[in-house]
Every structure is written in structure tokens, then in C-alpha cells.
Amino acid sequence: MLKGRITKALSGFYYVEAEGAIYETRARGLFRKTKESPLVGDIVTFQVENEDEGYIGEIHERKNALMRPPIANIDQVLIAMSMKSPEFSYYLLDRFLAYAEAHDIEPVIVITKTDLLEDDASLDEIASVYKPIYDIHFTDRDQINEDLQEIFRDKISVLAGQSGVGKSTLLNTLVPDLELNTAEISNALNRGKHTTRHVELVEIGGGLIADTPGFSTIEFTELDKYNLKFCFPDFNSFSEACKFRECQHINEPKCGVKQAVAEGELAASRYDSYLAIYQEIENRKARY
Ligand SMILES: Nc1nc2c(ncn2[C@@H]2O[C@H](COP(=O)(O)OP(=O)(O)OP(=O)(O)O)[C@@H](O)[C@H]2O)c(=O)[nH]1
Ligand SMILES: [Zn+2]
């Protein structure tokens, strides 16, 4: 038996990297019973059949998993948001962040196209909202922060962001030796709906990145509205002042979160995003 990581899934085969070699493996019937299927990113134990084939016997516990794109054990999601074309949106960024939180994935915010701005006022505002909570970086095509250089090392990353925010540009600027693979990666990033579902982890800057379009639109189909507040970590310290322990920070009196917004201690944009997503989850529930 060997232990390794699935780096690619294609047509019922799982390609597992173990001890410096790649094994083409299949999953045994065992998983059909439990309805559990292996995902790219999974750590698995497999039975070696010959020098490059095997059968997966066990999927090790995942720290997290996404279904679209189908990847497990993600260390971070790079959420790319441009300042212009497309226009920056607090709400959209908050959706991505809440989605990452809901899936236990560490978000890293990358704000792109800062060169298209006339002044830095909006950047300062964005920094003031997110710096206390998240890792946030500001970039433009010609200038990538030093602190982003090592961002991929020893991690499994996924990219997220709307079309056109500069995801492929960012990757190519960050990892110039990716040059050879540029066409490949941007193809992969652009592929979206057209080709069959094939996910692969590719090497980038000493780590691995999923060569999928990442996620560009998101739905909160699995999240319970009562759990949404836990996806806004900046609410935590203020919710200690809520009168009711189960406070949803909506209609309840003596709510510490609403008070913090009123006093300007918590960004109104964050609270508005929370309300909008909460409403969306509630409406979805009502439909069924
Ligand atoms: N001015 C400016 N333009 C940029 C910057 N980054 C990317 N662009 C331009 O924005 C456009 C879209 O960039 P891409 O890197 O293709 O964006 P993407 O997010 O990969 O887009 P999809 O492949 O559709 O998901 C291109 O014309 C880029 O040249 C930037 O920092 N500043
Ligand atoms: Zn409250």
C-alpha cells in the first residue's frame, strides 16, 4: 500500500502522486456503497497493482472540499477583484469571502487593475474594511507586490473571480517561468463550460494550483441562514454584546452588530452584504 495525493481525475481514473511517481488508479466498489467519490486533492491510500497502476482503498479525512470545481484539501482561495472593468463591488467580494468561509477555505484577496484609478481613495477605503480581517494585496499588471511572490509555496490554491478581472495576467506576472505553460493555463482558465469536467493540480511557484476556471459565480445552496453569521468573522467580537445568544443581527433588539454599524465600527457594506445573502438564503428556502 502507498499513500499519495490525487492530482488529476479523468474518465474514471485518478492519477495519484506518491513517492515521486504517478500512478493511474481506480476507486474500488467500496466507494459506490458509501457514495463517496475521490476528489482531486484527496490524500489516498492505494494498492499498487504494477509499476504505474493501482486501486484506491481509502480516502483520508478532508480538511475541506468544493464540488464546483471538485477539489479537496484546499489551502487557500485567491479571490481576484478588479477596481475597474469590471467595476469593484463590495457585495461581490463579500459573497466570495462568505463562500470561502462557508467551506473552511482561507481567502486571500487580490485587488487588480489599480492603475486604472485616478486616485487611491477607494483603495484606502477597501483596505480599511478588509485589512483587519483578511490578507489583502493590491496589484496592477506591471507591479506585483513582493509579498505575493511566495504566495503559492507549499500550498494548494484555487483561483476565484469574475471573468476579465485579470486572473491569467496575475498568474503569468507572478510566475514568469510559467511562460511555457501560459497558453495551457490560460486555456484552462478560459475553458469554463466548453470541455468535459477534468480537473488537475498543476505546479506553480513551489505549490499546486487547480487548473480550472475556479469559481466565478456562487450560490449558497448548502448554507443554512443561521450559519451565515459565522461566515462574517468581523461580526464576532461585536456579537458578544448582543442581548440574545442566538441573535441573527436582523430584527433583534439590543444587537451588538447593528450597534457597531451605527457607530461606524463595522463597515455598513459588510452588514448590507450579510443582509442580502441572508435574504437570498431565506427566499431559496421558501421556494421548496
Ligand atoms: N490596466 C490593467 N489591465 C489589466 C490588468 N490585469 C489584467 N488586465 C487586462 O484585463 C483583461 C482581462 O485580463 P485576464 O487576465 O485575461 O482576465 P481573467 O480574469 O483571466 O479573465 P477570464 O479568462 O475571462 O476569466 C486583459 O485585457 C488584461 O490585459 C491590470 O492590472 N491593469
Ligand atoms: Zn446581534
Name the residues around ion ligand 2, CB cutoff 5 A: 242, 247, 249, 255, 257
Q: Note whether 178 and 185 are within 8 A (CB).
A: yes
Looking at the CA of 242, which ligand is closest?
A: 2
Write down the residue that cell numbers 514568469 correspond to.
176
Range 189-194, long-range pairs (CB < 8 A, 24+ positions): 189/159, 189/213, 189/214
Average pLDDT of span 180-185: 46
Average pLDDT of span 211-226: 82
Helix (H, G, I), strand (E, B) or coil at 257: helix
- Cα separation, 89 vs 142, in Å, equals 23
The residue whose CA is least distant from atom 1 of ligand 1 is: 113
| Rounded (10°) CA dihedral 29, 35, 40, 46 | -30
Best mutation site among 83, 113, 169 for ligand 1, i.e. most ligand atoms within 8 A of its Cβ? 169
Q: Note whether 38 and 56 are within 8 A (CB).
A: yes
What b-and-e string marks burial along 115-139, b requiring 16 or more CB atoms within 10 Å of the CB? eeeeeeeeeeebeebbeebbbbbbb
- Cα separation, 284 vs 19, in Å, equals 47
- How far does the centroid of ligand 2 lie from the alpha carbon of residue 66, in Å? 30
* E strand or H helix at 16: strand 13-18
Nearest to 24 by CA among 6, 42, 40, 41: 6
How close are the terminal C-alpha atoms of the chain, in Å? 46
From the centroid of its chain, how far is CA 285?
24
Looking at the CA of 86, which ligand is closest?
A: 1
- Cα separation, 267 vs 99, in Å, equals 19
Residue 119 is which amino acid?
D
Q: Which residues line ligand 1 (CB under 6 A)?
A: 112-113, 115-116, 140-141, 161, 163-169, 189-190
Give 104-122 pLDDT, tens digit per residue. Answer: 999 999 999 999 999 999 9
pLDDT at residue 286, rounded to an integer: 67
Give 225-260 pLDDT, tens digit per residue. Answer: 999 999 999 999 999 999 999 999 999 999 999 999
Give 56-95 pLDDT, tens digit per residue. Answer: 999 999 999 998 889 999 999 999 999 999 999 999 999 9
- Cα separation, 161 vs 217, in Å, equals 8
Nearest to 25 by CA among 6, 40, 1, 42: 6
> Residue 138's pLDDT band (boundaries 50, 70, 90)?
very high
Structure-model confidence comparison of residues 142 and 2, the more confident one? 2
pTM for the model stands at 0.91
Nearest ligand 1 atom, CA 165: 19
pLDDT at residue 118, rounded to an integer: 92
pLDDT at residue 205, rounded to an integer: 86
Looking at the CA of 172, which ligand is closest?
A: 1
Phi and psi angles of residue 276, each rounded to the nearest 5 degrees, phi first:
-65, -40
Q: What is the DSSP letter of 60?
A: P
Cell of 74: 484546499
- How far does the centroid of ligand 2 lie from the alpha carbon of residue 239, in Å? 5
- How far does the centroid of ligand 2 lie from the alpha carbon of residue 242, in Å? 5
- Cα separation, 225 vs 92, in Å, equals 18
pLDDT at residue 133, rounded to an integer: 96
Average pLDDT of span 196-203: 78
Cell of 62: 478532508
pLDDT at residue 193, rounded to an integer: 41
